[in-house]
Chains A and B, each alone.
Chain A
């Protein structure tokens, strides 16, 4: 089954403790992206990757890092999480970058930073 898998689904942690949210897709997609979803603000893009070893900042990249060492994986790293990063996070992928590419989403990761 074609899917985007995120782990963990839920995480409660404390300020400053490094964490990684993993994202993996099994569709051989070139393009992957991370979003955060906050009430009243919709989806905001954090980082994206057009292919292996190619990443770029989205609209709200501060406080986040990503890497794309393999085509299928695109982890999101919070080196020193802060409470304002408490949010619902989604990973998405599409065949390639472009405005005509429907995106496939994971089920989300709810992060709470205390």
Chain B
């Protein structure tokens, strides 16, 4: 069965610092991978997705993620965070006719 693990429940970084949020997945075939962001009081918004091809994908708001098949990972990165990036981030995996499964989320805190 497919599953998604986000090992960090909370992450705190200083404004301007780089960011990496971890995501590990389990899926028997080639997965479809997503990152969503949930800002306070809002629904989830798609940041980026990986289906195939280049393993480094670019998303909105300056985020990128790298698919590493050997490590079953799809970590989200941003070179320099802004206070407005404070939110909860969800990794998700799907495949073929399977529905999308979400991780439990990582809450990002930004220090001024």
On A, residues with C-beta under 8 Å from B are: 4, 40-43, 45, 48, 90, 92, 97-108
Say yes or no for B34: interface residue by CB 8 A criterion.
Answer: yes
Contact for A42 among B43, B51, B94, B105, CB less than 8 A: B105
Task: Specify the main secondary structure of chain B where it touches its partner.
Answer: strand
Q: In the complex the two chains form, is A99's CB within 8 Å of B43's CB? A: no
Task: Specify the main secondary structure of chain A where it touches its partner.
Answer: loop
Tell me the minimal C-beta distance from B75 to chain A in angstroms: 18
Cα distance A97–B95 in the bound complex, in angstroms:
11
Chain B residues in 8 Å Cβ range of A4? 43
Tell me the minimal C-beta distance from A55 to chain B in angstroms: 14
Q: In the complex the two chains form, is A107's CB within 8 Å of B99's CB? A: no
Q: In the complex the two chains form, is A101's CB within 8 Å of B94's CB? A: yes
Chain B residues in 8 Å Cβ range of A104? 46
Chain A residues in 8 Å Cβ range of B34? 102
Cα distance A101–B34 in the bound complex, in angstroms:
10
Cα distance A99–B50 in the bound complex, in angstroms:
11
Tell me the minimal C-beta distance from A34 to chain B in angstroms: 12
Q: In the complex the two chains form, is B105's CB within 8 Å of A99's CB? A: no
Query: What is the chain B residue whose CB lies nearest that of A94?
Result: B100
Chain A residues in 8 Å Cβ range of B32? 99-100
Cα distance A40–B104 in the bound complex, in angstroms:
7
Q: In the complex the two chains form, is B100's CB within 8 Å of A103's CB? A: yes
16 sampled A-B residue pairs with Cβ under 8 A: A40-B104, A43-B90, A48-B99, A92-B43, A92-B44, A97-B97, A98-B99, A99-B31, A99-B93, A99-B96, A100-B96, A102-B49, A103-B46, A103-B100, A107-B43, A108-B43
Tell me the minimal C-beta distance from A58 to chain B in angstroms: 8
Contact for B43 among A48, A100, A105, CB less than 8 A: A105
3 smallest CB-CB distances across A and B, nearest first, come from A99-B94, A105-B43, A42-B104
